[in-house]
A and B are shown apart, each in its own frame.
Chain A
């Protein structure tokens, strides 16, 4: 790893200002992505700006109509939060399936999202609950929909210097299920991951690791949402639409064909479980 300047700003504004001073500066949260890339020489930052001192909100807040998760909340905090486990158990599940306990004790949800891997484990549940991300450039804040935050492999809607401050999740009585398949049971990147969510009889289907970003499959959702009664045939039709939409690649973790089969089987299963239909 090459040397760099390490900066511990004490405000968001300070962090952004520092960031903007160069073309090769990076924010540091848990470091579980960043330090790996630096070690491999893929990133050679001039300045590392530590967000942990910059006054970003951390922790999980329960408000009346929404839940707020600070960008610096660790995956362990989310996994073990009794509140998240009760209200968005599938997000807790997703957090608990990311990396190992050693990783999760450091890795932040903000880092997982800003790293913007198509396989990021916390992305599909957040898109499914229609979370919004609060982004800050030190002066102004703006909100983007989770779904619109991801722009491509390792690409986000963040503008230069902007950072992810907080995640806002509307409270609802919906139910969701997260599923992740990897080569080994735990501590592996997803071959595929997904969240299927149901609130007020409306479904949301989000698939990860099968496109350049996590992908919400609206066509399949509509198929289910329009139907009067959900039966196996309809679920199969919806699953077929999912398969039609995703564009997985073949890589070290599995072939495109295999990914499609995994998605087909499990999206069917998850919808079935939420709809109370035996599949």
Chain B
């Protein structure tokens, strides 16, 4: 590793003070004089025609200022596929869908008014799962699908519930299977799960009488929100201002556009008044987005020497009632469908289908947790059947420098080192040695591992901008619009700026939270891309500022700009450090002894655009991955065969995240992601009864507490610098969550010889699988 002054060390979080002192403001903490409070009426039915809505009793109530519904606000929204109405229009498509909203002087009045709205429904047939959605003559959740607007990189199917089909073709699949020595076919499923950010969603909106709209929101994507709001409500970008306070956890659930339009629709009805809409926890479950459910069928052909030579994978995502953002989950899972493997012949078909379930959307991992669940379970089944060591089987088959991945991209030594990740995990698990024998005969132990890869899933035009602004004393303020959602981007990005400026990080201040009127543009804080993409923009911004300083210095020192360098304190002539100008004397303009001044305040602007292409419509080949992060995760577990009770003895994850900017926050991302992965592996599931969500609260949707930590948990950094990343860094935010479920399922198999193909891996399911085996 290079000698960095600000990188690779645990700079304390710059937002730490705000957050430990209670000083940090989140959306619900904002109050403005004269504010109105909003409540939403939600559909009690999963699929029903709306016959009539009568709001007159609600409107007459004292203290009710505005009531709205699809009759007044018929706008649709969507990042990729514009299919989601602000209020259910014509029919409701899931239980919990917003039907109407009220703004009143107090929350109590709004809540009471909601109850006075009368809606008459006529039931429609329920599309309750993937099978219902796909069957012949299926009830269509969106009969008007083809009339919706969508980006041309998605492929909805006319007359079906399929809102996107992503095909991938590589090599000759028929030939591949023909040459295969053995062929394996399996089906894997997983249910919908919730992000569960600890902060419920919320938004504040004010629509002024001159049609300027201001919105505060707990949002991962202030600029994309602005763009989608102005599209939905027919405004100009300049007239919409989005201000983003600290976000109390996002995990994808606050990406794109969410519940903000509900507040905006009310604001439009009560012009000049602030509307405050804060979701309850139940509404977070019902009314935001979830990770889509999925069913995968994987068919894999193996050569005599254990190489995978053909794979046919079909994945169907249950996108819920609206596809919207989720359309791209299908695409991202589709182009990565085989995981980090070098396979010559591939056929992938990834579908997203509408059902009457909660709306699927972006979720940490973005399709990759889902696909790796299938692929990494399948690999383990194959390795075990071939009597090959599962780690060795993966070492043999994973991507290495020179390999061609599913999309046809060539892997180089800069892409990352998958084998090193496997080796690190194997070492920590003492792979190959059997677990210590438990004291009781009915306790069985086992080990498992699973690899993973992910690239940021984003369109080719997902751009970033950053600014660095010098102050009079040569301290620096950094501006960017990567959202601080807990991942530590304010700190990491300031470290990157400091490093490029050759200053200690203490000389910098991050302007932090974005306001679209003042902050530089940023596409979205998603896809683990912020440190990587904005980091690059910041480097460019620093270089721009430095170029401006050098231009003035060259005049003063009468040298060429190419002869100059800057070290954080001064600009100087290379080879003659005494010929220099201290930065404070130049960053506001240089003043000659006679008072004449040249130059001016120095502010650098930098942008970054990933180098990507669209993918071929028929084969999915092209270049959609700006960079890859490889990783491997492992688990050692024990099972009580009497009751199915599982105990996690050890969880370990190794990730090639390139240059580590801040070890402490990187560790936080990894451990936090692994524990969220643990939740998705053993606990979490949104359950339906008659198409209605049955567990929209923490009473029955459990997430891990501190008491549920494994006995041991460990993170391992592999650091192969990324040639396109800022100082060689690459993405790490989502990855740690991805392969925990298959690692644990594989460990269960190792322990008790039972293969569970449907998440979550509950004690009860382990027990019933054991019984079936007998």
Contact = CB atoms under 8 A, between A and B. Distances in A.
Query: Are chains A and B touching in the complex at the 8 Å CB cutoff?
Result: yes
Interface of A: 2-3, 100, 181, 183-189, 252-255, 257-258, 261-262, 265-266
B707 A185 contact: yes
A255 B764 CA distance: 8
B642 A254 contact: no
A184 B707 contact: yes
B643 A187 contact: no
A150 to B, nearest CB: 21
Interface in B691-713: 694-695, 699-700, 702, 704-705, 707-708
Contacts of A3: 108
Nearest to A182: B702
Interface string B631-652: 0000000000011110000000
A266 B704 CA distance: 24
Nearest to B709: A185
18 contacts: A2-B108, A100-B705, A181-B643, A181-B645, A183-B683, A183-B702, A183-B763, A184-B683, A184-B704, A184-B707, A185-B707, A187-B707, A188-B702, A253-B700, A258-B767, A261-B643, A262-B643, A265-B643
B762 interface: yes
B705 A252 contact: no
Nearest to A39: B280
A184 B702 contact: yes
A30 to B, nearest CB: 17
B768 interface: yes
A186 B708 CA distance: 8
Contacts of A185: 705, 707-708
Given A252-B687, A252-B694, A187 B705 contact: yes
Interface of B: 108, 642-645, 683, 687, 694-695, 699-700, 702, 704-705, 707-708, 762-764, 767-768
Contacts of B707: 184-187
Nearest to B689: A252
A100 B763 CA distance: 22
In the complex, the 3 A-B pairs of residues with the closest C-beta atoms, listed nearest first = A185-B707, A186-B707, A258-B764
B445 to A, nearest CB: 19
- Say what secondary structure dominates the interface of chain B: loop
A47 B533 CA distance: 58
Given A252-B695, A258-B767, A261-B767, A184 B705 contact: yes
Contacts of A253: 700
B110 to A, nearest CB: 13
Contacts of A183: 683, 702, 762-763
A186 B694 contact: no
Contacts of A262: 643
A278 to B, nearest CB: 10
A258 B702 contact: no
B699 A189 contact: yes
A186 B705 contact: yes
Contacts of A254: 764
A102 to B, nearest CB: 12
Contacts of B708: 184-185
Contacts of A2: 108
A2 B695 CA distance: 24
Nearest to B764: A258
A39 B295 CA distance: 37
Nearest to B698: A187
Contacts of B767: 258, 261
Contacts of B763: 183
A231 B764 CA distance: 29
Contacts of B695: 252
Contacts of A265: 642-643
| A100, A184, A257 pick with most chain B CB within 10 angstroms | A184
Contacts of A100: 705
A258 B768 contact: yes
Nearest to B687: A252
A187 B700 CA distance: 11
Given A183-B763, A252-B694, A258-B768, 13 more contacts: A2-B108, A183-B702, A184-B683, A184-B702, A184-B707, A185-B705, A185-B708, A252-B695, A253-B700, A255-B764, A257-B768, A261-B642, A261-B767
Contacts of B704: 184
Contacts of B642: 261, 265
A186 B694 CA distance: 22
A46 B694 CA distance: 29
A53 B767 CA distance: 49
Contacts of A181: 643, 645
A252 B768 contact: no
A253 B763 CA distance: 11
B696 to A, nearest CB: 11
Nearest to A36: B699
| A186, A257, A258 pick with most chain B CB within 10 angstroms | A258
B499 to A, nearest CB: 42
Nearest to A268: B642
Contacts of A189: 699
B769 to A, nearest CB: 12
B764 A252 contact: no
Nearest to B694: A252
A183 B763 CA distance: 8
A197 B45 CA distance: 48
A111 to B, nearest CB: 17
A229 to B, nearest CB: 24
A99 to B, nearest CB: 11
A177 to B, nearest CB: 16
Contacts of A188: 702
A252 B762 CA distance: 12
Contacts of A266: 643
| B643, B705, B762 pick with most chain A CB within 10 angstroms | B643
Contact of B700 (A186, A252, A261): A252
Contacts of B683: 183-184
Contacts of B762: 183
A254 B683 CA distance: 12
A258 B762 CA distance: 11
Contacts of B768: 257-258
Nearest to A253: B700
A183 B761 CA distance: 11
B638 to A, nearest CB: 15
| A3, A187, A189 pick with most chain B CB within 10 angstroms | A187
Contacts of A184: 683, 702, 704-705, 707-708
A246 to B, nearest CB: 16
A3 B111 CA distance: 12
B74 to A, nearest CB: 30
Nearest to B645: A181
A220 to B, nearest CB: 19
Contacts of A257: 768
A181 B700 CA distance: 15
A182 to B, nearest CB: 9
| A2, A185, A257 pick with most chain B CB within 10 angstroms | A185
Nearest to A183: B702
A253 B642 CA distance: 18
Contacts of B645: 181
Contacts of B699: 189
Nearest to B765: A258
B684 to A, nearest CB: 10
